[in-house]
Copies of this chain bind each other. A is one copy, B any other.
Amino acid sequence: MATTQRMVVIGANAAGMSAASQARRLKPVGELEIVVLERGGYTSYSACGIPYWVGGDVAGVDDLIARTPEQHRERDIDLRLYTEVTALDPDGRRVRVRGRGDGGPPGEWLGYDQLVIATGARPLRPELPGIDAPGVHGVQTMEDGRALLEALERIEAARSAGTPRRAVVIGAGYIGVEMAEALIRRGHEVTVVDRAEQPMTTLDPDMGRLVREAMCRMGIETVTGATVTAIRTGEDGRARAVATEDTEYEADIVVLGLGVRPETELAREAGLPLGGSEGLLTDLAMRVRGREDIWAGGDCVEVLDLVSGRTRHVALGTHANKHGQVIGTNIGGGYATFPGVVGTAVSKVCDLEIARTGLSEEQARALGLRFTTVTIESTSRAGYYPGAAPMHVKMLAERRTGRLLGAQIVGREGAGKRVDVAAVALSAGMTVEQMTALDLGYAPPFSPLWDPVLVAARKAAAEVRRAGAH
Q: Which of A332-373 contact B (CB under 8 A)?
A: 337-348, 353, 355, 357
Top 10 A-B pairs ranked by shortest CB distance?
A346-B441, A428-B428, A63-B384, A318-B442, A424-B424, A344-B439, A341-B439, A342-B439, A420-B440, A339-B437
Q: CB of A467 within 8 A of chain B?
A: no
Q: CB of A106 within 8 A of chain B?
A: no
Q: Are B318 and A450 in contact (CB under 8 A)?
A: yes
User: Inside 8 A of A440's CB, which chain B residues have their CB?
Assistant: 318, 344, 417, 420, 423-424
User: Inside 8 A of A430's CB, which chain B residues have their CB?
Assistant: 424, 427-428
- Contact mask for chain A residues 319-332; partner B; CB cutoff 8 A; 1 contact, 0 none: 10110000000000
Q: Are A439 and B414 in contact (CB under 8 A)?
A: no
Q: Are A423 and B445 in contact (CB under 8 A)?
A: no
In the complex with contacts A46-B382, A49-B384, A384-B58, A438-B446 CB distance below 8 A? no
User: Inside 8 A of A58's CB, which chain B residues have their CB?
Assistant: 384-386
Q: Are B437 and A345 in contact (CB under 8 A)?
A: no
Q: Smallest Cβ distance from A49 to chain B, in angstroms?
A: 5
Q: CB of A317 within 8 A of chain B?
A: yes
- Contact mask for chain A residues 419-461; partner B; CB cutoff 8 A; 1 contact, 0 none: 1110111111010001011111111111101110000000000
Please measure, in the bound complex, the distance between the C-alpha atom of A24 and the C-alpha atom of B342, giving whole angstroms.
40
Please measure, in the bound complex, the distance between the C-alpha atom of A428 and the C-alpha atom of B425, giving whole angstroms.
8
Q: Are A421 and B418 in contact (CB under 8 A)?
A: no
Q: CB of A57 within 8 A of chain B?
A: yes
Q: Are A52 and B445 in contact (CB under 8 A)?
A: yes
Please measure, in the bound complex, the distance between the C-alpha atom of A418 and the C-alpha atom of B174, giving whole angstroms.
23
Q: Are B317 and A57 in contact (CB under 8 A)?
A: no
User: Inside 8 A of A316's CB, which chain B residues have their CB?
Assistant: 442
Please measure, in the bound complex, the distance between the C-alpha atom of A341 and the C-alpha atom of B439, giving whole angstroms.
6
Q: CB of A64 within 8 A of chain B?
A: yes
Q: CB of A133 within 8 A of chain B?
A: no
Q: CB of A171 within 8 A of chain B?
A: no
Please measure, in the bound complex, the distance between the C-alpha atom of A449 and the C-alpha atom of B343, giving whole angstroms.
16
Q: Are B52 and A439 in contact (CB under 8 A)?
A: no
Please measure, in the bound complex, the distance between the C-alpha atom of A434 and the C-alpha atom of B338, giving whole angstroms.
10
User: Inside 8 A of A319's CB, which chain B residues have their CB?
Assistant: 439
| Nearest opposing residue in chain B for A60, CB measure | B384
Q: Are B441 and A427 in contact (CB under 8 A)?
A: no
Please measure, in the bound complex, the distance between the C-alpha atom of A420 and the C-alpha atom of B440, giving whole angstroms.
5
User: Inside 8 A of A441's CB, which chain B residues have their CB?
Assistant: 344-346, 355, 357, 416-417, 419-420, 423
User: Inside 8 A of A52's CB, which chain B residues have their CB?
Assistant: 384-385, 444-445
Please measure, in the bound complex, the distance between the C-alpha atom of A425 and the C-alpha atom of B63, giving whole angstroms.
33
Q: CB of A14 within 8 A of chain B?
A: yes
- Contact mask for chain A residues 50-89; partner B; CB cutoff 8 A; 1 contact, 0 none: 0010000110000110100000000000000000000000
- Contact mask for chain A residues 102-138; partner B; CB cutoff 8 A; 1 contact, 0 none: 0000000000000000000000000000000000000
Residue in B318, B386, B420 whose CB lies within 8 Å of A420: B420
User: Inside 8 A of A383's CB, which chain B residues have their CB?
Assistant: 63
11 pairs across A/B with beta carbons < 8 Å? A46-B449, A318-B442, A322-B437, A345-B442, A355-B441, A357-B441, A416-B446, A424-B425, A424-B440, A426-B439, A427-B437
Please measure, in the bound complex, the distance between the C-alpha atom of A449 and the C-alpha atom of B317, giving whole angstroms.
7
Please measure, in the bound complex, the distance between the C-alpha atom of A434 and the C-alpha atom of B57, giving whole angstroms.
34
Residue in B322, B348, B417, B437 whose CB lies within 8 Å of A414: B417
Please measure, in the bound complex, the distance between the C-alpha atom of A417 and the C-alpha atom of B424, giving whole angstroms.
14
Please measure, in the bound complex, the distance between the C-alpha atom of A425 and the C-alpha atom of B321, giving whole angstroms.
22
Please measure, in the bound complex, the distance between the C-alpha atom of A442 and the C-alpha atom of B49, giving whole angstroms.
11
Please measure, in the bound complex, the distance between the C-alpha atom of A421 and the C-alpha atom of B342, giving whole angstroms.
15
Q: Are B338 and A437 in contact (CB under 8 A)?
A: yes
- Contact mask for chain A residues 257-295; partner B; CB cutoff 8 A; 1 contact, 0 none: 000000000000000000000000000000000000000
User: Inside 8 A of A443's CB, which chain B residues have their CB?
Assistant: 48, 174, 345-348, 416
Please measure, in the bound complex, the distance between the C-alpha atom of A316 and the C-alpha atom of B442, giving whole angstroms.
8
